[in-house]
A and B are shown apart, each in its own frame.
Chain A
């Protein structure tokens, strides 16, 4: 039963990502001033962020688990938290690069002093600091405990930073600083039919990568 469910969601994730890749480039999109064809980047750029936050949430869950469990179980939870954070960081960089390319064509620069961009940079720095912390402690149990406490502390502040603060200040991003969200004007039903599958597909793919890396880590021990 468990095996069947596992195969089902992985197949669904692979199918959704494949569909979003094909439809993302081929399906019709609204003709919008300045955005033009770059609006297709919505199918690639935004799902990267959703996946990053989802995987950081997974990492947070395992870190909380690591703090609550004793002995070996704590170490195993911590290992999963680390792997989820690593994959989240990859998606963060993918989101950053796709965003920079989009910004170049719509705002005229690869980087602007936008709160959302600053938030992204800080989220990446926070998780790089998490890995620096891990590498500076030798004892595995101590490493697990310190890294888990930092992960919990950092995740909450990061969510405030990337989720709450941009909405209170001026931003070039849709849905922030009083700008209308994408859904209000630009995202028609045709785009929704590609965008939401892309989000769920990439999140599924991200979780699958974490699972594969965990199996690899267990095998290599």
Chain B
């Protein structure tokens, strides 16, 4: 909990991620100011994915002395859960900020103008962002152990995130078309599964990964 609350106090980090998201959104807006609904969603997910990756990499990018101290305080599983929670807060903030910025710059897709539709998009996006956090937490730990290389983190993460991206894209596509919650239930459950599976695997594997 100490690490989590210490992270919460790093306001500059949050501002940095939000700024990155804002700049990326504006860049996308400059290139494609009037995208179709499917392109709108694709661009939103690309911005969220790359912003989240920045946050995930930094979570396990700590000085060696701090790791030595943290390793005495907590077990590898606890560290994994705390860092995942930390990344989840970052990715969720980033995703919701990206949604707001997309709404501001591009507007919502035509079928999703109501607040109910916006809520559905937010739910699909939020769950997808949490699922990203679970997978990226593990790959970030792995990259950290392999020498804290951001390129390696991206190389390891992107193929593993593809199932989550496809499920999340399906969920958000249905949400953007303002489909019923009953239609959305299966892809949302898929997102939930893509959140639970890496969490379970990460918890089991973290002691082996973190062994000195």
Is A129 in contact with B155, judged by CB distance below 8 angstroms?
Answer: yes
- Tell whether A15 is near chain B: CB-to-CB under 8 Å: no
Is B152 in contact with A136, judged by CB distance below 8 angstroms?
Answer: yes
Is B152 in contact with A145, judged by CB distance below 8 angstroms?
Answer: no
Query: Which residues of A are found within 8 Å of B166, using beta-carbon distances?
Result: 115, 118, 165, 169
Is A153 in contact with B202, judged by CB distance below 8 angstroms?
Answer: yes
Residues of chain A from 72 to 104 with CB closer than 8 A to chain B in the complex:
none
- Tell whether B100 is near chain A: CB-to-CB under 8 Å: no
Query: How near does chain A come to B154, taking the closest CB pair, in angstroms?
Result: 10
Is A156 in contact with B209, judged by CB distance below 8 angstroms?
Answer: no
Contact of B201 among A125, A133, A153 (CB under 8 A): A153
**Residues of B within 8 Å of A, CB-based: how many?**
29
**Chain B residue nearest in CB terms to A115:** B166
Of the candidate stretches B5-13, B42-50, B140-148, the one touching chain A is B140-148
**Chain A residue nearest in CB terms to B208:** A67
Query: Which residues of A are found within 8 Å of B211, using beta-carbon distances?
Result: 145
- Tell whether B177 is near chain A: CB-to-CB under 8 Å: no
Residues of chain A from 132 to 174 with CB closer than 8 A to chain B in the complex:
132-133, 136-137, 142, 145-146, 148-150, 152-154, 156-157, 160-161, 165, 168-169
Query: Which residues of B are found within 8 Å of A109, using beta-carbon distances?
Result: none
Given the known inter-chain contacts A136-B152, A152-B205, please indicate yes or no for A157 contacting B160, CB distance below 8 A: yes
Is B186 in contact with A133, judged by CB distance below 8 angstroms?
Answer: no
User: Chain B 146-175, CB within 8 Å of chain A: the 1/0 string?
Assistant: 110100100110111011001100100000
**Residues of A within 8 Å of B, CB-based: how many?**
27
Given the known inter-chain contacts A125-B158, A129-B155, please indicate yes or no for A146 contacting B163, CB distance below 8 A: no
Contact of B205 among A133, A137, A153, A169 (CB under 8 A): A153
Query: Which residues of A are found within 8 Å of B158, using beta-carbon distances?
Result: 125
> How far is A126 from B198 in the complex, measured between Cα atoms in Å?
15
Q: Which of A118, A153, A161 has the largest count of B CB atoms less than 10 A from its CB?
A: A153
> How far is A131 from B40 in the complex, measured between Cα atoms in Å?
35
Is B162 in contact with A133, judged by CB distance below 8 angstroms?
Answer: no
Is A146 in contact with B156, judged by CB distance below 8 angstroms?
Answer: no
Q: List 9 A-B contacts (CB under 8 A).
A: A118-B166, A136-B146, A142-B145, A145-B211, A146-B209, A149-B208, A157-B160, A165-B163, A169-B170
List residues of A whose CB falls within 8 A of some B CB. 67, 115, 118, 122, 125-126, 129, 132-133, 136-137, 142, 145-146, 148-150, 152-154, 156-157, 160-161, 165, 168-169
List residues of B whose CB falls within 8 A of some A CB. 135, 138, 142, 145-147, 149, 152, 155-156, 158-160, 162-163, 166-167, 170, 186, 190, 194, 197-198, 201-202, 205, 208-209, 211
Give the top 10 A-B pairs by smallest Cβ distance, nearest first.
A125-B159, A161-B163, A126-B159, A149-B209, A122-B162, A149-B205, A67-B208, A129-B155, A122-B159, A129-B156
10 more contacts with CB within 8 A, not counting A133-B142, A153-B205, are: A122-B162, A125-B159, A132-B152, A132-B156, A146-B209, A149-B208, A153-B202, A157-B163, A165-B163, A168-B190
